[in-house]
Chain A
Amino acid sequence: MHELSIAEQILDIATDHTAREGVASVREIELEIGTLSGIEIDALTFALDVVTKNTVLDGTKVTIIDVPAKARCESCGEEFLLEDYFSPCPACGAFQSETLQGQELRVKSLIVDE
Chain B
Amino acid sequence: MCDTCGCTQPDDAVTIRKAGEEHHHHDHAHDHDHAHDHAHAHDHEGRSIAVETDILQKNNLLAERNRGYFLAKNILALNLVSSPGSGKTSLLERTIRELGGGLPVAVIEGDQQTMNDANRIREAGAPVVQVNTGNGCHLDSDMVLRAVRELQPEENSVLMIENVGNLVCPSLFDLGEARRVVIMSVTEGEDKPLKYPNMFRSSQVCVINKIDLLPHLDYDLEKAKEYALQVNHHLRFIEVSVKSGEGMDAWLTWLRDEVAAAKA
A: which residues have CB within 8 A of B? Answer: 1-2, 5-6, 9-15, 17-19, 21-25, 27-28, 31, 36-38, 55-56, 84-86, 88, 95-96, 105-114
Contact = CB atoms under 8 A, between A and B. Distances in A.
B40 A6 contact: no
B51 A13 contact: yes
Contacts of B169: 1-2
Contacts of B34: 15, 18-19, 24, 55-56
B6 interface: no
A110 B58 contact: no
B17 interface: no
A2 B232 CA distance: 23
B25 interface: no
B83 interface: no
Interface string B186-204: 0000000010011011000
Nearest to B45: A114
A109 to B, nearest CB: 5
Contacts of A9: 55-59
Given A84-B197, A105-B55, A107-B53, A38 B172 contact: yes
A109 B47 CA distance: 10
A102 B51 CA distance: 19
A12 B111 CA distance: 25
15 contacts: A9-B59, A12-B58, A14-B51, A21-B49, A38-B171, A85-B200, A85-B231, A105-B55, A106-B55, A108-B50, A109-B49, A109-B51, A112-B48, A113-B47, A114-B44
Given A105-B56, A113-B40, A113-B42, A12 B51 contact: no
Contact of B140 (A5, A15, A85, A113): A5
A108 B227 CA distance: 35
A86 B194 contact: yes
Contact of A1 (B38, B50, B59, B137): B137
Contacts of B198: 36, 38, 85
A38 B42 CA distance: 39
Contacts of B48: 109-112
Nearest to A110: B49
Contacts of B49: 17-18, 21, 109-112
B19 interface: no
Given A2-B169, A13-B57, A85-B230, 13 more contacts: A2-B173, A5-B140, A6-B56, A17-B51, A36-B198, A38-B168, A86-B227, A86-B231, A106-B51, A107-B55, A108-B50, A109-B50, A114-B46
Contacts of B47: 111-114
Interface centre among B32, B51, B140, B172 (most CB of A within 10 A): B51
A55 B35 CA distance: 9
B247 interface: no
A104 to B, nearest CB: 8
A24 B55 contact: no
Interface in B216-244: 227, 229-233
B136 interface: yes
A103 to B, nearest CB: 9
A19 to B, nearest CB: 6
Contact of A27 (B46, B58, B201, B229): B46
Determine which residue in B43, B54, B136 has the highest number of CB atoms from chain A within 10 A of its CB, and name it: B54
Contacts of B21: none
Contacts of A38: 168, 171-172, 198
